[in-house]
Structure 1
Amino acid sequence: MAGEIVYADLKVPSESEPTFARTFHSSPQLYAFQRPHWQKITLWIACTGNIILLVALIILLNSTCQVCPAYWVLHRDKCYWFQSKNPLKTWNNSRDDCLARKSQLLVIQDMEDMDFVTENITNVHYTYWIGFSLSLPMKNWIWVTGSQVSKSLFQEQKHEEDKHCGAIKNKKIISEPCSSILRWICQKDPVLI
């Protein structure tokens, strides 16, 4: 056998014949595009899930869901925190505490805000610092935002000696000495998601 030459007929697929036809040449009824039934169902479920997720994402991006931190109360477009436990603080220390919470002392815009605040005060006999004080030397009552206090909310437009800071008690806005030790209310903008 040494030196013998063996000849064989080999069938090599041509370049023009498609790959899937070469793969399934022995059974012409099968095509590469045919899938088992479970694969079709899985593909359909995946596509449907993606569509649902896309719709949910669009809805979330167009929503204005407002969220407040724990222990804060959402009302309209603000979050409110009512300090009701000890220690009590002066007006300046209360203002600083609100700033440390990335907020400010309460600013009441209208009677709806006033009603909300007075409904959420746990004990009507407590007095709470809010965010206004007497601007000296002009002697104007101003909020911590720099705007003037509305006469419809605070009738006591004159100032009493030593009472230069604003508070709320018994559903009324009053002035108190800034060195008094009281509870306080902070407010800030909610987080939009």
Structure 2
Amino acid sequence: MSLKRRISQHFSRNAHSLFGSHPSGQERRSMCPPHRLVVLTLGLLNVVLVLAAAVIGIYCAKANDFQIPDSDVAPLIVEMNHLRNNGEVIQAKEEAQAALAREQAAHQQLKTQIQEKLAVTDALQRNIETLEQEKQMLQANKTALEGNCGWCLPGWHLLKSSCYYFTNHAPSLKKNWNDSRADCISRGSDLVVIDDLEEQQLLNENFVRRFSSAWWHNGFWVGATGSPADETWAWINNGKRVNSTQWRSGQPNQSGIQRENCGAFYYNIDRLKTLYNANCQQQVLNWICEMERRRT
């Protein structure tokens, strides 16, 4: 009889005993005793345990055969530590790069702010320069007004009892003697008449000084006319003769390109000798106008 059948009969007898059913005689003859079934079951379990123990022993033996020596494990541990350290280094590097990016952004922002401040500073500096120029102009006007005390027109200089106007033109705008006098007349004045040595010294001290090798090109027309040949020179309007001490050394010149009958004025260290003669039509110079000061 198979084990399966015996177990089935055992459970069948137990079921009949539990539910009050009594097996037939044939069934009682075919049932195994209970203790035999238990012994058989325990035997099977022992066999299974022995087999399991054998299998486990085999695997353990194989595991011992594959055990890695310490000499082989050490490099792996070193490599693992190295990788762990590298991971920390990489993390530190990433954190440093992030901090650097933040610093660069802050630096760029600061640089932008500095550029904005510089632009504002430049604008303020330009405004300051403009205001400084306006201040100088106002100061010059103030000085001129204070100096003239309202006696002279703007741009004119008060010297004693007369107002003087010194032109300051580029070479292309200079004029001959006749055109220069016409300009003075259009301003309500005339070419300057130097009546005495004191006036000549004042003009010399206030003269716009220009120095060049051809000094006679830098002079100013004045209201003196005459004849170099007979040395008769007089001032326009009043006809008063020009004092001989007023001429520069060697003037009036009776030869060369200066030989003509119109008088001019040029600065001289010797303040009493400032006049010279020049060609009235061909020579072009700046000029000095003179008018009486205003009555206030």
Bucket of the pairwise TM-score, normalised by the shorter protein: 0.5 to 0.7
Separation of aligned partners in 2, 1:137 and 1:150: 16
Aligned to 2:220: 128
Structure 1 or 2, whichever has the larger Rg, is 2
Q: Is the 8 A contact 1:66 1:192 kept in 2?
A: no
Structure 1 residue 188 corresponds to structure 2 residue 291: yes
**1:166: Cα distance to partner?**
0.4
Gaps of 5+ in 2: 1-148, 212-217, 269-273
In the alignment, which of 280, 288, 293 is matched to residue 178 of structure 1? 280
2:183 maps to a residue whose letter is D
Instruction: Give matches, 1:84-95, under 5 Å.
Output: 84-86=168-170, 87-95=173-181
Separation of aligned partners in 2, 1:89 and 1:67: 28
2:277 maps to a residue whose letter is S
Aligned to 2:94: none
Secondary structure at the counterpart of residue 167 of structure 1: strand
Kindly provide the CA deviation profile for residues 46-87 of structure 1, in whole angstroms up to 9, marking residues without a partner as x.
Answer: xxxxxxxxxxxxxxxxxxx76011100011110000001231
**1:105: Cα distance to partner?**
0.5
Instruction: Give matches, 1:27-38, under 5 Å.
Output: none
Q: Counting helix residues as a fraction of each chain, which structure ranks higher?
A: 2
Secondary structure at the counterpart of residue 244 of structure 2: coil
Instruction: Give matches, 1:45-56, under 5 Å.
Output: none
**Structure 1's 183 and 92: CA in aligned 2 closer, same or farther, altered over 3 A?**
same
Instruction: Give matches, 1:2-41, under 5 Å.
Output: none
Separation of aligned partners in 2, 1:154 and 1:84: 23
Alignment RMSD (CA, Å): 2.3
Instruction: Give matches, 1:159-174, under 5 Å.
Output: 159-160=254-255, 162-171=259-268, 172-174=274-276
Separation of aligned partners in 1, 2:227 and 2:275: 17
Separation of aligned partners in 1, 2:174 and 2:284: 5
Separation of aligned partners in 2, 1:124 and 1:170: 8
1:69 maps to a residue whose letter is L
**1:157: Cα distance to partner?**
5.6
Aligned to 2:182: 96
Structure 1 residue 150 corresponds to structure 2 residue 243: yes
**1:160: Cα distance to partner?**
4.0
In the alignment, which of 107, 110, 132 is matched to residue 193 of structure 2? 107
In the alignment, which of 152, 162, 181 is matched to residue 78 of structure 1? 162
Gaps of 5+ in 1: 1-64
Q: Is the 8 A contact 1:127 1:167 kept in 2?
A: yes
Separation of aligned partners in 2, 1:119 and 1:139: 27
TM-score by length of 1: 0.60
Aligned to 2:114: none
Separation of aligned partners in 2, 1:118 and 1:96: 23
Q: Counting strand residues as a fraction of each chain, which structure ranks higher?
A: 1
1:185 maps to a residue whose letter is I
Secondary structure at the counterpart of residue 85 of structure 1: coil
**Structure 1's 137 and 158: CA in aligned 2 closer, same or farther, altered over 3 A?**
closer
Q: Which has the higher contact order (CA 8 A, sep 6+)?
A: 1
Secondary structure at the counterpart of residue 95 of structure 1: helix
